[in-house]
């Protein structure tokens, strides 16, 4: 397998800020506050979970490979064989998806949303639908057409 095209989109600065502020507050509580040991352990576990969630949802990756498409956050990735793709079009996440991360839209489309922006809507032959935000969906769509994915 080789990569034909790749785009990465970092999550919204507001989402990144929330995770970082929460991590700093938890760290301050653990280090400087007089708390029972069990409370510090629980706060430590919450801090680790916060860091893992931040790591997984920090960046959305979209790849076109010789075998198909790969997209997702961290370990939450989807792979689609190129012969399972029915259609791909450019769309917007506004007014369909509420929030960031992995979401379901009003039309039951599964969305991978890093920012409120444009992206690609991918429809499979089995009628499943995905939406992936990206910085340059026009370029990705052109590459899909050039390589006869659609």
Listed residue (96, 98, 103, 105) closest to 76, CA to CA: 103
- CA 147, distance to chain mean position in Å, is 24
Query: Which has more pLDDT, 93 or 134?
Result: 134
Q: What would the pLDDT profile of 98-123 be if each residue is shown by its tens digit?
A: 888 899 988 889 999 998 889 999 99
Q: What is the pTM of this model?
A: 0.83
């Amino acid at each position: 397998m080789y990569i034909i095209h790749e785009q990465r989109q970092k999550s919204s600065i507001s989402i990144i800020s929330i995770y970082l502020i929460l991590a700093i507050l938890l760290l301050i509580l653990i280090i400087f506050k007089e708390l029972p040991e069990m409370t510090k352990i629980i706060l430590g576990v919450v801090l680790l979970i916060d860091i893992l969630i931040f790591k997984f949802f920090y960046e959305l990756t979209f790849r076109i490979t010789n075998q198909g498409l790969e997209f997702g956050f961290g370990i939450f990735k989807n792979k689609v064989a190129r012969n399972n793709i029915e259609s791909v079009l450019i769309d917007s996440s506004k007014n369909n998806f509420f929030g960031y991360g992995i979401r379901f839209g009003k039309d039951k489309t599964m969305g991978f949303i890093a920012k409120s922006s444009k992206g690609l809507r991918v429809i499979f032959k089995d009628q499943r639908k995905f939406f992936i935000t990206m910085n340059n969906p026009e370029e990705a769509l052109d590459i899909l057409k050039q390589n006869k994915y659609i």
